[in-house]
Amino acid sequence: MREQQQRAIPQGNELQAQPIQSENQLKSDGKAHGSHICHPHEDTEGHNNHEHKHKHEHHRHAHSSTKRQITLIAVTAVLLAAAVLIERYCALQTWQLLLVYLVPYLLIGTGTLKEAAEGIASGNIFNEHFLMSLATIGALCIGFLPGAETEFPEAVFVMLFFAVGELFESYAEGRSRDSISHLMEIRPDTAEVERGGQTRTVTPEEVSIGEVIVVRPGGKIPLDGTVIEGSSSLNTVALTGESLPRDVEKGDDVASGCINLSGVLRIRTTKTFGESTVSKIIRLVENADSRKSRSESFITRFARIYTPIVVSAALLLAFVPPLLSGNGFSGFSASFATWLHRALIFLVVSCPCALVISVPLTFFGGLGGASRRGILIKGSSFMDSLANVGTVVFDKTGTLTRGEFAVEAVHPENLTEHELLHLAAHVEHFSTHPIGEALRAAFPNEATDGCSVTDVEEIAGQGIRANVEGRTVCVGNARMMEAVGAAWHDCHRTGTIIHVAVEGQYAGHIVINDRVKEDSAEAIAALRRLGVGDTVMLTGDREETARDVASRLGIGSYRAGLLPADKVRCLEELLAAKPRGTSLAFVGDGINDAPVLKRADVGIAMGGLGSDAAIEAADVVLMDDRPTKIATAVSTSRRTLRIARQNVWLAIGIKAAILLLAAIGLGTLWLAVFADVGVTVLAVLNAMRALRVPTH
């Protein structure tokens, strides 16, 4: 069992930076919990600079430490083989043979013995180093008992195999840590800011809101802001997990952490570094291990109680049966060696390393694998909820749809589609309404074709009337058509219907709708394949619009015309009606759905890139706008929990079998070593599978 350290757990969803720990503390925590992610970046500027200056040095140190450990294991194995040959071919007394085996034992075991001594000195006695030390020292001493065989090779091999297990564990932990700490690479070290007519290189923390920064090709955007000059493509893979670049130009908002691929950008900052997207994401990742899953919490509590019981039981096993054997001291001494040997086997087998290490490591790997796909889960406790999802409730606008109006269909009467769009776009030239923007976007040449537009008049509740090239054109709803006497007719398409009349004659209509995201239907289908049978859509939109979107996407049920308070009420009803043992997930855009995101068993925010509300309110943040990531998050959580359960049953099953063999005298210390370190290695290797995120 690794050293268990207490850490403060932030309340709610607060994303507060935790104090920086020493390298030894990180190592201890990583092995105890399997999940200390990375160093916070919001202590002091001096620490930040120091940390980044020595980042590569730390990587080199870790690599050289691994090489030293491998070398040490190899040398110890050679010395152990030599000691076995000396024992076989040289007639040595027991104490002389002990000296021969002490050379490889101390070479490989000094670190473990030191850790055990430090644990005893600090009051943390019952850790795995203490168990290994106690078992191996007992094995070295057992050969001096009357009638007992020496266990010197076994003692050295326990330490050797233990070192091999730690090497595998360290490698797996490093892989898991790297899978999440790659997000730390999005943190920029410097920013080029324009001051006094010159460009100065400063730390991002020194840049204020409203200042202009310059980002050159290949550079990271250091702070959130708005492009005021230039155009480029941005690599957002570290934030969203998507490899497709995002094009930006003047007027577009950009998030910190993206990499500029092509043109030079001048950006006016809109947030300080501490409030930027990259800082919020880093704090989220740092705190992801604060909320443990039920499995991890159980293992932590279990280990604290279990280890003292194991040591006490081993002592009883060593002394009680010989004392009860009769014949006084002679009977005790005759059977003590046998029972001490069984107690040592019991001690080694009972060490809960495989559970204490592999279960947290599994969840850590799952969190890291998800983060590489742009899915940020705020703690392994939410993996429990995701894995048991039986009902998924969706907001519509911004979640399943883009929240952007676009022309969906054009139905002219006596004009061509091009002519109808041409007239409507010109009439809506000065409109700031989303409908006007959609019409202009559908006819992009409207501003440059030279048509004359005069006498523009907006009629409240009806639409806009204007003179286009000498003709009176009315663009609006049915009330406007009736007002001008145009014989309009109904449309069977769902959406916003814009009618057009020219000189009082009906010219046709245009259907405008909120665009459904390309992969929304696939997201619903993927959830259904995972067995999530209940999908619901909540929206404030009209009944006919909600019905159309639900039918097109295959959503099971919907509720329309809802105010924010109505959504909470509906969610309460769905929570009460959900099947027992399942959880309910709500998926929203994180801006106006905060109350519902909080109330759900697990809140999932879409499009967290640049959205403060999404990062703050939700339990899971999808960094892009792809609804299919919801199914990925669910399948990743289920797979992670499945691997954790496999490790639990693997460890318990093998240990129970070997303990049974030991109880009837068939167990050996070699089997005990496999039951402890061997099972730990197998469990750690199995835990590494959680790093791979399944695709759909």
Tell me how many degrees the CA angle 643-636-685 measures, rounded to the nearest 5: 35
Q: Mapped to the 3 state alphabet, what secondary structure does 441-456 carry? A: HHCHHHHCCCCCEEEE
Residue 1 near residue 309, CB atoms below 8 Å: no
Query: What are 72's two structure tokens?
Result: 């040490």
- List the one residue out of 486, 448, 444, 478 whose CA is nearest residue 461: 478
Residue 146 DSSP one-character state: T
Pairing of strands 401-412, 505-516: antiparallel
Contacts of 414 (CB under 8 A, 6+ apart): 505, 507, 508
Query: What are 620's two structure tokens?
Result: 């899971």
CA atoms of 431 and 408, how far apart (whole Å)? 19
Pairing of strands 191-195, 212-215: antiparallel
Name the helix (H) or strand (E) containing 622: strand 620-622
Pairing of strands 496-502, 265-269: unpaired
What residues pair up with 265 in beta bridges, in sequence order? 215
CA dihedral 673, 2, 639, 245 (to 10 degrees): -120
CA atoms of 292 and 381, how far apart (whole Å)? 5
Residue 390 near residue 496, CB atoms below 8 Å: no
CA 464 to chain centre: 50
- List the one residue out of 644, 592, 20, 614 whose CA is nearest residue 374: 614
Residue 557 near residue 507, CB atoms below 8 Å: no
- List the one residue out of 589, 574, 587, 580 whose CA is nearest residue 534: 574
What SS3 class is residue 517? Answer: coil
Residue 394 near residue 555, CB atoms below 8 Å: yes
What are the Cα distances from residue 294, in Å, to 12, 15, 368, 383?
17, 21, 19, 10
Pairing of strands 389-395, 583-588: parallel
Catalytically active residues, by annotation: 395
> Is 624 exposed, middle or buried, given 0-12, 13-18 or 19+ CB atoms closer than 10 A?
buried
CA atoms of 186 and 239, how far apart (whole Å)? 8
Question: How many CB atoms lie under 10 A from the CB of residue 514?
Answer: 22
Phi, psi (deg, nearest 5) at residue 322 = -60, -35
Residue 689 near residue 361, CB atoms below 8 Å: no
CA 339 to chain centre: 48
**Residue whose tokens read 């959880």:** 583
Tell me how many degrees the CA angle 75-80-86 measures, rounded to the nearest 5: 125
Residue 628 near residue 523, CB atoms below 8 Å: yes
End-to-end Cα distance, the chain: 37
Residues in the chain: 696
Phi-psi region of 374 (alpha: psi -120 to 50; beta: other; left: phi over 0): left
